[in-house]
Amino acid sequence: MSTPNKNKYSKGTHISERKFRQLIKCFSLDLNAYETSKITNISHTTCKKIFQKLRVYIYQNLLENNIDNGEFELDESYFGAKRIRGKRGRGAAGKTPVFGLLKRDGNVYVQIVKNCSKAELMPIIEGKILEGSTIHTDGWKAYDGLVLNGYDHYRVFHSKDEFVRGKSHVNGIESFWSFTKRRLAQFNGLRDEMFYLHLKESEFRFNNRHNDIYAILLKNLRENNL
């Protein structure tokens, strides 16, 4: 009976440390399992399995969930099935609504929501952003009343072709939506449980866009094996 290679990053794996580091490098570069298999000569099935474990690891260990103050942009976006022709407004049949908060010059936080109503969004806002903070949004009605909840609130009205008013805009959070949708397009549709992990992986990647993701993963995996 063969014994596993000693690998300080992943207990029980039969992949050598050199090969495993190569695989982590490919994941850090956001290559898919098929591309990684060709580069590393590790089976596609194994690459896919380890990539999935890495996404679970990131979700469980490497995301920040702090309550914070400062200046924020809030927005919602929709993922999944294409919009139905003629269907307008917040969302459409078959789409998954996602709410996002971006601290300017800081991190983004995203959460799947049932809908984009005030009742759904306000508890998330109050749970993540301290009173006295400045919030920028578009004109969506769910944001009515933020001033009464103790926030400084500034809006741009996209419905009136207004996208910037002085320092008020939501360009930062919209850049995250664009980044995430480009990433997820390569997977050609994801099951609900897979979508959430990929969404939170996008959050992790965006928040570490100026950092060395490869070094972050190796350091953490040495301390807490995959």
**Could you read off the pLDDT of 66-117 as tens digits, one per residue?**
889 999 999 999 997 554 444 445 555 678 999 999 999 999 999 999 999 9
Enumerate residues 6+ apart whose C-beta is below 8 A from 18. none
Q: Quick one: 71-186 is in which CATH superfamily?
A: Ribonuclease H-like superfamily/Ribonuclease H (3.30.420.10)
Average the pLDDT over each of 26-30, 51-55, 84-88, 99-103 and give the range with the smallest value.
84-88
The DSSP letter of residue 83 is P
Distance CA 146, CA 126 (A): 10
How many beta carbons lie within 10 A of that of residue 68, not counting itself? Answer: 15
Alpha helices in the chain (DSSP H): 17-28, 33-40, 44-61, 118-128, 171-185, 192-207, 213-223
Distance CA 55, CA 138 (A): 32
Average the pLDDT over each of 141-155, 162-176, 195-209 and give the range with the smallest value.
162-176
| Mean pLDDT, residues 179-200 taken together | 84
pTM for the whole thing?
0.86
Integer angstrom CA distances of residue 87 from 66, 91, 157, 213: 37, 8, 20, 40
158 pLDDT more than 70: no
163 pLDDT more than 70: no
| Mean pLDDT, residues 40-54 taken together | 95
Enumerate residues 6+ apart whose C-beta is below 8 A from 25. 214
Task: Report the chain's terminal Cα–Cα distance, integer Å.
Answer: 23
